Amino acid sequence: MIAVIQRVKNASVSIDNNIHGKCEEGLMILLGVANEDTVEDAIRLSQKILKLRIFCDENRKMNLSIKDIDGEALIVSQFTLLANYTKGNRPDYFGAAAPTIAIPLYEKFVELMDQELRHVGTGVFGADMQVSILNDGPVTIVMDSKQLK
């Protein structure tokens, strides 16, 4: 799994001009599921993100996690994170898991985050979505569950 994690003041995802999911201060997470990903990847990645100390303490030092600040999250599936752009100018997405694999793993990741946070908003898997964020910092981290093994 690949996650793009952004520290945000707020974020929302709209479908057909209607807000479907949102979060206040916390994390905007774009999540891509690879062919070889498993439930263990979802567990490992969610645990790392929940403990990631990227929020500022009273001394403006990044020393607090999303749980420490009682933050929220917005999680949106994004298969394009698995783009192979090495040949030609049109990326291929053969590394992205098929919906039969990706949807249950995306839902598992959301469930794991929802068990730990006050609020978790989501997009709709496979929908045409518009994401709005107010990035805080900006702080953006790309995480790959393979690197956490």
Question: What would the 3-class secondary structure string for 93-124 be?
Answer: CCCECCHHHHHHHHHHHHHHHHHHCCCEEECC
Phi, psi of 60 (to 5 degrees): 65, 25
134 pairs with which residues across the strands? 10
Tokens of 28: 């905007």
64 pairs with which residues across the strands? 55
* Sign of the alpha-carbon dihedral angle for 61, 43, 70, 21: positive
Q: Which residues are catalytic?
A: 80
